[in-house]
Amino acid sequence: MSSLWIYKVVKVFLFKKVGCLVCWSKVFLLLFCEISVFRKFVYVNLLLYICKKQMIMDFIKNRRTIRNYQQKDIPTELLNQLLEEAFRASTMGNMQLYSVVVTRSTEMKAKLAPSHFNQPMVTKAPVVLTFCADFNRFSKWCEFREAEPGYDNPISFLNAASDTLLVTQNFCTLAEAHGLGICYLGTTIYNPDQIIDTLQLPKLVMPVATITVGYPDEEPVQTDRLPLEGILHEEVYSDYTRGQIDRIYAFKESLPENHRFIAENGKTTLAQVFTDVRYKKADNEFMSNNLKNTLKKQGFDK
Ligand SMILES: Cc1cc2nc3c(=O)[nH]c(=O)nc-3n(C[C@H](O)[C@H](O)[C@H](O)COP(=O)(O)O)c2cc1C
């Protein structure tokens, strides 16, 4: 048995099920204690509800991005159910300014891959979802109903992009709750014009997020997060002193993998790995220009 499997078994049976076991033992005790059937029913349901809520909270705390997937399809019914539930997210004026393109075919995944710098998840995941900000459908509805749409501007793009990202994250949370693994692909907004061509997106439709989805075939280590106090501001924003910045980033900077990144890239600080290697000014400027041109081409900026 591989160490991954041993880890999985220990995790499922010791960490996840024990919490549930405690709850089930309470349910068992309640069923046999001397209270009315109605009270038993209420208590048991309350306990089960608390147990379920605890499990959901735990899964959010334990989540991680998954980049390796089993060769197993996601049933269409499950995918559609998750998407439909995701569409319950808040939306600007309830206009639902998004569309989702589902890619399952090997041929289409191969066409999409170069737009995502050939990241292997695109061709290896059973499903690739491209979430698009979409004012096309709503504008058409307006035109067909003697109403004049005025959504060919940047603010409308931002509204549609907000709707789209809310739905995207809702989908990711639901998918993970159902045992699927997901990976966001930020490359979507780096090469939007190529994706538009491949997916044949009309004007007023703009890709904003791509998610690869599948059944996990790995259990990666959880990534770090900045401490809560480094992110929260009470009542007003209090700008950071150098000492605070040192404290907030201390844990991240202490991680062995980050020391390795610095050494491998011949840098002296972790921040330099971001500014000089991963997210460079020149690349950002080039891609911003590309993004502006694509927004124009798609009719969101005149
Ligand atoms: C907007 C966005 C873009 C991302 N783009 C990529 C990507 O192109 N490739 C990739 O492997 N992971 C990508 N990720 C995943 C992040 O690397 C990952 O969420 C982050 O390292 C934290 O890890 P965790 O999700 O496991 O906590 C992206 C995440 C977000 C939110």
| 85/176 same-domain check | yes
Alpha helix stretches (DSSP H) within the chain: 3-10, 17-32, 37-62, 76-86, 106-112, 121-124, 136-144, 154-177, 192-199, 242-254, 256-264, 270-272, 281-297
| 163/118 same-domain check | yes
Atom of ligand 1 minimally distant from the CA of 209: 1
pLDDT band at residue 260 under the 50/70/90 scheme: very high
End-to-end CA gap in the chain: 61
Tell me which DSSP letter residue 223 carries: P
| 203/249 same-domain check | no
Please tell me the predicted confidence (pLDDT) of residue 84.
98
Atom of ligand 1 minimally distant from the CA of 67: 11
Q: Beta-carbon neighbour count of residue 301 at 10 Å?
A: 15
What is the residue range of 140's domain? 76-214
pLDDT at 7 > cutoff 60: no
Q: Is the dihedral of CA 295, 296, 299, 300 positive or negative?
A: positive
| 89/147 same-domain check | yes
pLDDT at 5 > cutoff 80: no
Q: Is the dihedral of CA 36, 37, 42, 46 positive or negative?
A: positive
What is the domain count for the chain? 3
Rounded to an integer, the average pLDDT of 182-206 is: 97
| 50/87 same-domain check | no
| 124/37 same-domain check | no
Domain boundary (62, 96, 111) is at 62
Amino acid at 278: R
| 100/185 same-domain check | yes
Domain boundary (214, 246, 261) is at 214
Q: Ligand 1 atom 18: the closest Cα is on which residue?
A: 65
Please give the radius of gyration of the chain, using alpha carbons only, rounded to the nearest integer. 24
pLDDT at 1 > cutoff 80: no
Based on DSSP, count helices (H) and strands (E) in the chain, helices before strands.
Answer: 13, 4
Q: Is the dihedral of CA 41, 42, 48, 51 positive or negative?
A: negative
**Pairwise CA distance, residues 284 & 295, whole Å:** 16
**Pairwise CA distance, residues 162 & 149, whole Å:** 19
In degrees to the nearest 10, what's the CA dihedral of 256, 259, 261, 265? -160
Q: Ligand 1 atom 28: the closest Cα is on which residue?
A: 184
Output the pTM of the full model: 0.86
Please tell me the predicted confidence (pLDDT) of residue 302.
87
Domain boundary (214, 237, 252) is at 214
Q: Ligand 1 atom 19: the closest Cα is on which residue?
A: 65
Q: Is 263 part of any domain? A: yes
Question: Strands of 181-185's sheet, edge to edge?
Answer: 98-103, 127-134, 205-214, 181-185
Q: Which of 170, 182, 183, 195 to mutate to test the pocket of ligand 1 (most atoms within 8 A of CB)?
A: 183
Please tell me the predicted confidence (pLDDT) of residue 43.
79
Q: Is 168 part of any domain? A: yes
Rounded to an integer, the average pLDDT of 231-255 is: 98
Q: Is 176 part of any domain? A: yes
pLDDT band at residue 205 under the 50/70/90 scheme: very high
Q: Is 302 part of any domain? A: no
Rounded to an integer, the average pLDDT of 56-75 is: 93
Amino acid at 103: T
Q: Is 70 part of any domain? A: no
Phi, psi of 153 (to 5 degrees): -150, 160
pLDDT at 238 > cutoff 80: yes
**Pairwise CA distance, residues 39 & 205, whole Å:** 54
H/E stretch holding 139 reads helix 136-144
Rounded to an integer, the average pLDDT of 24-33 is: 64
| 191/232 same-domain check | no
pLDDT at 102 > cutoff 70: yes
| 142/17 same-domain check | no
pLDDT at 277 > cutoff 90: yes
Evaluate: CB of 119 within 6 angstroms of ligand 1. Answer: yes
| 111/35 same-domain check | no
What is the CATH number for 100?
Answer: 3.40.109.10
Evaluate: CB of 204 within 6 angstroms of ligand 1. Answer: no
- Residue 190 Cα to ligand 1 midpoint, Å, equals 14
Tell me which DSSP letter residue 269 carries: S
Evaluate: CB of 122 within 6 angstroms of ligand 1. Answer: no
Q: Is 232 part of any domain? A: yes
Q: Is 185 part of any domain? A: yes
Please tell me the predicted confidence (pLDDT) of residue 101.
99
Phi, psi of 106 (to 5 degrees): -60, -40
Answer yes or no: are the C-beta atoms of 128 and 58 closer than 8 Å: no
pLDDT tens profile 144-178: 999 999 999 999 999 999 999 999 999 999 999 99
Q: 190 Cβ partners below 8 Å, 6+ apart?
A: 117, 287, 290
| 109/239 same-domain check | no
Evaluate: CB of 168 within 6 angstroms of ligand 1. Answer: no
Answer yes or no: are the C-beta atoms of 206 and 238 closer than 8 Å: no
Q: Is 18 part of any domain? A: yes
- Residue 259 Cα to ligand 1 midpoint, Å, equals 20
Question: Helix or strand or coil: residue 48?
Answer: helix
| 142/189 same-domain check | yes
